[in-house]
């Protein structure tokens, strides 16, 4: 599992490795909120399946101004190593 954070979004790859009971506290700490047309109705993140083995990526939209260093600390607390994405790669992401 690994996270990459961008200016407006956090991508968590192989997100199924995080125990189900850890998601709500993580989303609370990240101050995640529902983002119309980006997350399912009533949900604070979007999920995309990347393989038939059940590996998926979670997308959490940054709705609050939390410094990157703080994001890295929060993700590390949940055992998720993180890095900052480059602007060019973020633009290329579909």
The predicted-structure confidence for 82-94, as pLDDT tens digits, reads as follows 988 876 544 444 4
Q: Are 9 and 61 in contact (CB under 8 A)?
A: yes
User: Domain residues for 61?
Assistant: 2-88
The predicted-structure confidence for 48-79, as pLDDT tens digits, reads as follows 887 667 788 899 998 888 888 999 999 999 99
CA atoms within a 13 Å half-sphere pointing along the CA-CB vector of 37: 0
The residue with tokens 């940054």 is 62
Our count of domains for the chain comes to 1
Global pTM reads 0.81
How far out from the chain centre does Cα 72 lie? Answer: 11
**Does residue 94 fall inside a structural domain?**
no
The predicted-structure confidence for 39-54, as pLDDT tens digits, reads as follows 888 899 998 887 667 7
Percent of the chain exceeding pLDDT 90 equals: 44
**Does residue 93 fall inside a structural domain?**
no
């Amino acid at each position: 599992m690994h996270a990459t954070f961008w200016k407006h979004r956090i991508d968590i790859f192989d997100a199924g490795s995080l125990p189900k009971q850890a998601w709500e506290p993580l989303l609370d700490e990240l101050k995640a909120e529902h983002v119309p047309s980006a997350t399912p109705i009533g949900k604070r993140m979007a999920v995309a399946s990347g393989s038939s083995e059940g590996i998926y990526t979670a997308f959490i939209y940054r709705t609050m101004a939390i410094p990157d260093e703080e994001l890295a600390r929060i993700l590390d607390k949940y055992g998720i190593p993180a890095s900052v994405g480059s602007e060019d790669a973020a633009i290329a992401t579909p």
